Structure formats: C-alpha cells, structure tokens
Structure 1
Amino acid sequence: MSVNKQSKAMFDLNRQMKFHLEITDKCNAACPMCGRTQQSNRCLPDMSKVKNIDLDLETIKRNFTPELCANILEIDLCGGLGDPLAARDCFSICEYFVDQGVKLILSTNAGLRSVDWWRSLGELFARDNSVVEFHIDGLADTNHLYRVNTRFTKIMANAAAYLETGSVGEWHFIPFQHNQHQINAALELSREMGFANFKVIDTIRFGKENAFGYQMPDGTLRSLKPADPQFIGAQAESADSSGVEEVITASDVIPGISCKSENENRPYIVATGAVSACCWVEGSEDERQMYLLAGQDHDDHNINDRLLSDILTEEPYVSMFAKAWASQSNPVCIRKCGHMRRSRRRVL
C-alpha cells in the first residue's frame, strides 16, 4: 500500500480550521457500546475512564480567542465519552462560539435539559445555522434499548421545542435487529416534526460474533444484533425520499493514508483539556509512540495549562505524524484513514 507523503505540518493556524471538541465526559445515558459503559455490569459507568469533568467557559475563551475563532469554519461538540448537554457551561459555551460567528454541530441523545432550555438553544442556533444532531435509535418502545436510561417522551418534547424555533436538526438512527423495522416510521415522524434530514448510520462496533451482550440497569440480560443490510436497503428504497446518499462507506480501501484531521485542519480536544490528532488516535499506543519519538510529554499539551495556539505548532504535529504515515508505523491511522473503517451513512 502506498502512503501519501506529507511535507507540511499537520495543523495550520493560518488556514480555515475545524475542531472536534468534547466539553464533558459526563452523560445521562448508558449506551452499552460506548467506551464509558460497563456493559456487563448493569451499564454502569466505567470510572477508570470517566472522571466527571467539564471544560469551563473561561478555559474555552482563553484558548479560542476571537482571533482564532475568526478562522474557524465549524466546531463539532461531540463527546467520545460524554454528552455536551451534561456540561455545566454548555449553553454559555455555545453562546460564546455563536457570538464569534462559529457554526456549531452539537451531537446529543437529547435526554437532558428542559424544553425552555431547548427553545433558547434553538433561538441561539438560528443566528448562524448551527445544527443539532439528535441521536435517536428507534421509537418509544425501542430507543431505550440502546440509549439506556433515556426517556423517549422527554427527547421528543425537547426536540419539538428546538425545532419550533426553525433551527436545523438532524435525526441520526443506528439500526439494529430490534429497531430496523421502524426506520420508515421514524423517518415519517422526523418529517412531521420538521427535522432537516434523517440519517441511518451503521455501527462498526460489533465483533466477529455479530452480537453484543449487555446487562440492563434492572439486571435483565440482552443482546444487540446487527441490522440486516438487505432489509435496511429495502426500507431505504421504499421510503418516500428524494434519494439515498452514501456519505461514508465502511471498509473501502483507498490508496494511502488520507488523514481526515489534516485534510480538514481539525484537531481533537477531550474533556480533560488534552489535545490530540483525532478521536481515534487519542489515548492510543500510536499517540504514545508519537510523543515518545518527539521527546514531548503529552501532559504538557493541555489547554488548561497552555494555550491551544502554542500546542498545535509543536511536535508531534509538525512532522512526527507525517513520518509515521510514510513508514506505515501507526496502525490506528492505517486502519481508520487507510482502510476507511468508518460508519456507513444513508441520508433519507
């Protein structure tokens, strides 16, 4: 496999940027496939990973200065472990970015906050066409089977309050065997409510057994099973839709490593304040090796202690990742951006 050679730094503060930003590792839900969840222990949080921390508004303002924000196209408020709505300063952080002219894409299960809070968020997001991605995997009788500890009626009330303001909302639906029959009904409901679009997103988190066992909070044992691709395809074809768009295709092999973070100039920041190349590399052996080879301490690259603009102009982001791509010595990068093992999405 050939590897694209890189001659420039991974991130460039002088060209348009994007950011992937996790503002908390707290979450109301207990999705069994999430990295924060002990799926075999009543879906309790794994406290070896979860620290129940937030990035506060002052830290955000100190690092995302007006000068930097003027060069930011969009920020994804999407957690690897947390839901942004669980952050204490979620609204004020959103308000700060919108005031700076930055478009936000906020990803949530929508099970937190009041309808008044959601209405205020809608009014705020309407100012710059920011977007909320509502992750709702079924209807009243199925959504809670994966989005454990959430209540469908509350989610619908929150979504309705937001959408009534005219702001943009997307319904993201992960199909499993237990909810695949509801795709068209959920699609129709999304249109009635005023969602901008409906996306079916396949998960890549099943093992070779094609089953994922877990224990519900009440002790009930359950098993997630993947949706039938042929059934999903038939559902999509039968939908009254303008078409089906394959946004990202899983497991397609491309020539070389095409790093999404570098291409989009899109660093990742986790709730601890640690800066990383992307959500896949963060915390991995690949990342540890990059810092070891660069002679840097990863703990020094934290926006609670140092400025983001300084961190992004230091190794390993200057040359170490490019060298690893050339030598094919970073398995995570090869797996995710060399073989494109990402979720497949259909827009209905």
Structure 2
Amino acid sequence: MLDYNTIETLHIEVTDKCNASCPQCARNQSGGKVNSHLPLVELSLNDIKKIVPVELIHRLKSALFCGNFGDPIVAKETLEILEYFREINSNINLSINTNGSARDVSWWTRLGEVIQNKGNIKFGIDGLADTHALYRKGTDFHKIIRNAEAFIKAGGNAHWDYIVFRHNEHQVEEARALAAQLGFKKFIVKKTGRFFSNSKLEKKDHQDVLDEQNQPIYKIQPPVNPEFHNSSLAREEGLIKQFGSMQSYLETTDVSCKSLQEKSLYVSSEGLIFPCCWTANQMYVWYVPAASTPLHKLLDSHGGPETINAKFNSLESILENPFFKSIQESWSCKSISEGKLQVCAKTCGSSFDQFKDQYL
C-alpha cells in the first residue's frame, strides 16, 4: 500500500456530524433516523497537530475536507484547522465539500480569505429555492446563497455541485446561469450513481425519503433525460449479461486502487487511518449489525481499530500495520468468499465506477 514518504493528499473527515439529512447519505436511514453506529465526534485542532506531522503538511499538495458522514462546516475548529494548514504550507490546495447551510457570513468571509484560489469550496446545491431541499433535507437555499456570496466576495474560489434528479433536471440551465451571475468559478453537473442498492447489488428506480420516525414522506427519482444518466448504472444490464450477475462481476474484476494512484490517505473523524473514504465507510454501515462487515473482521485480525488510530500512533507506524497490506492482497483473491473486499471491487473495479461516472 501507500508509503508514508509518498503521501501527496490527505482526505480528512473532520466530523461525522451534520446539519442536513440527505436521503442517500450513509449518516442516516434514507433521510430519517441518524445512523446509530456513528460515534458522533469531531477532530480538534490539537487532534490534527497530533495526527499530521508538520513536515508532512510542508510537502502535501492538497488536503480535502469532506468525508462519508459529516459536513466539515459543522465542526467547531474546521476554520482554525484550515488556517493552520495554510500557515505551514502557503501553496497547499485546500478544499471543502459542503452543503453550505451553516455558519454566518463573517465565518465564510474568513474562509474565503484562507482559501483564495489555492483550493476551492464545493457547495452542494441541488436545484433552486423550490427544489433544493428535497434532497438536501434540512438546509436553507437562501442561507447557502448568502454564505457563498460572502465567500466569493472575500476572494474564495467557489464551485456549484448540482446533483441531477427528476425533480430538478428542468432547472439545470437556470441554476448554471445563477452560478455565473453570483461568481462561482465552476458549475458541475453530477450524474448520480446512488440509485443502486449496495445490499441487493441492483439499480433502484426511486428512493423513499423518510422522516425522523422513519415513515415515508415522499420519494426521489433519477432524471429522465439520458444526458444526465450515470453511465455505470446504464452498463449494469450489459455486465449482468456478460458475467451472469453483478456479484459475479465483483468476484472477478481487477482492482485498480484510486488512493494508490492519487497517493492519498483518509483520516476519519475518530482519527482512524484508511486508504480511502470507501473503505472507511464500511466501519458504520447502518443496515448491517454493528462491527460486522468484512473490513471490521480484517481489521480485528490485525489488532483492531486502536492500532490505526493516529491520535495514539504515528502515521508511519500505522501504514506499516499488516492491515493495509491485507487490503491490497485481498484484490488478488479469487472471490469475495475467499477474502476479496467487495467495497474495493465495487469502487475500483475495471468496468463499474459510479463515482467517476458522475462527472462524465
């Protein structure tokens, strides 16, 4: 796996807390109850100072603040952490993926002064005032726009990330025009790959959205326009014909690890170190019993989560843990039952890449 001396990018989930309840996010049950497996914690500036050596910050090309479950702007010291990185490395590319619907304009002004054009903030804005919160449940479109305007006015490089659904596909061009008017540097159309059941390994034609009592209140659907379809999902039927089933495809596909190619490492909100966000995601899968995934079992066989916690162990020693080597060795196993990690086959397999195909 990745050698400490070759790390170029850190992906940091500074918290697993969030102000939103997006129905296809792993932190909640389809927009309803919060994932009960989550520890609900955040990293402080002091934690970051323990986890990331100064010499590593000096040589990093980029640090991404995003993650699997939380929104970075909810954590108490995210801004101070970004300022710390910038103070040590004036050229590092700093970026955040966020729903943008927290904090006040003074906070966003400070953030713009830190980011400038050496990085970016990706605002997840999936529609206009009347449609945005159907997916970004619990957020305020008008507050997001005010925050984005403050960030942009302070010199920040803002990108508008627009996930296309059936309920907002008619607004793409209007949103693109608004983004240009407000000063966003990029407008990114995302062709969602999340209409796929990870438990059943098949496409879904809709997603029920639940309330806090886990009762259905409405549903969201993929777009009708083929221009906005995710090409991996469109290839599913062909893969089933070729391999017999999606399970058979995952059993046999070659794995080409994205994190190895990008020389990146993932830091969870607990301080746990993983190759990537996709492997880290397996720690807290809400629809299976706690601590029961194949990744848990692999980690437990190499000493458990405490051995990869960078609050108490150096990054160098963690990367020498056999756990990381075992992940790489799993890719050559002949089947999932013999040890191949399904999360690796699904995310970095040769013919099915929902993530990459969001942008193609």
Q: Who is 2:287 aligned against?
A: none
SS of the equivalent of 1:38 reads coil
Q: 1:230 aligns with which of 226, 229, 233?
A: 226
Q: Who is 2:107 aligned against?
A: 117
Aligned residue type for 1:301 = I
Q: Who is 2:341 aligned against?
A: 330
Cα drift, residue 206 of structure 1: 1.6
CA contact (8 A) 1:175 1:201 kept: yes
Q: Who is 1:24 aligned against?
A: 15
The Cα offsets for residues 265-311 of structure 1, whole Å up to 9 and x where unpaired, read as 21211111111122222236342343355x33232211222222321
- Cα RMSD of the aligned pairs, angstroms, is 2.4
Q: Who is 2:186 aligned against?
A: 197
Q: Who is 2:245 aligned against?
A: none
SS of the equivalent of 1:228 reads coil
Q: Who is 2:326 aligned against?
A: 320
List gaps (5 residues or longer) in structure 1. 1-9, 234-247
Which deviates further from its counterpart, 192-201 or 248-257? 248-257
Cα drift, residue 231 of structure 1: 5.4
CA contact (8 A) 1:11 1:313 kept: no
Aligned residue type for 1:342 = Q
SS of the equivalent of 1:118 reads helix
Distance in 1, Cα, partners of 2:321 & 2:42: 25
Q: Who is 1:250 aligned against?
A: 232
SS of the equivalent of 2:5 reads coil
Q: Who is 1:262 aligned against?
A: 260
SS of the equivalent of 1:326 reads coil
Q: Who is 1:243 aligned against?
A: none
Distance in 2, Cα, partners of 1:220 & 1:265: 42
Cα drift, residue 232 of structure 1: 3.6
SS of the equivalent of 1:14 reads helix
What TM-score comes out, normalization by structure 1 length?
0.84
SS of the equivalent of 1:29 reads coil
Q: Who is 2:358 aligned against?
A: 345
Distance in 1, Cα, partners of 2:210 & 2:254: 40
Q: Who is 2:28 aligned against?
A: 37
Distance in 2, Cα, partners of 1:224 & 1:33: 10
1:291 aligns with 2:296: no
CA contact (8 A) 2:346 2:353 kept: yes
What TM-score comes out, normalization by structure 2 length?
0.82
Aligned residue type for 2:353 = R
Question: Percent of pairs identical after alignment?
Answer: 31
Cα drift, residue 194 of structure 1: 1.0
Aligned residue type for 1:159 = A
Aligned residue type for 2:163 = I
Cα drift, residue 143 of structure 1: 0.5
Q: 1:50 aligns with which of 24, 27, 38?
A: 38
Q: 1:172 aligns with which of 158, 161, 164?
A: 161
CA contact (8 A) 2:2 2:260 kept: yes
* Number of equivalenced pairs: 318
Aligned residue type for 2:319 = L
CA contact (8 A) 1:63 1:309 kept: no
List gaps (5 residues or longer) in structure 2. 197-202, 240-251, 284-292, 335-339
Q: 1:187 aligns with which of 169, 176, 180?
A: 176
The Cα offsets for residues 231-282 of structure 1, whole Å up to 9 and x where unpaired, read as 548xxxxxxxxxxxxxx96367897211001111212111111111222222
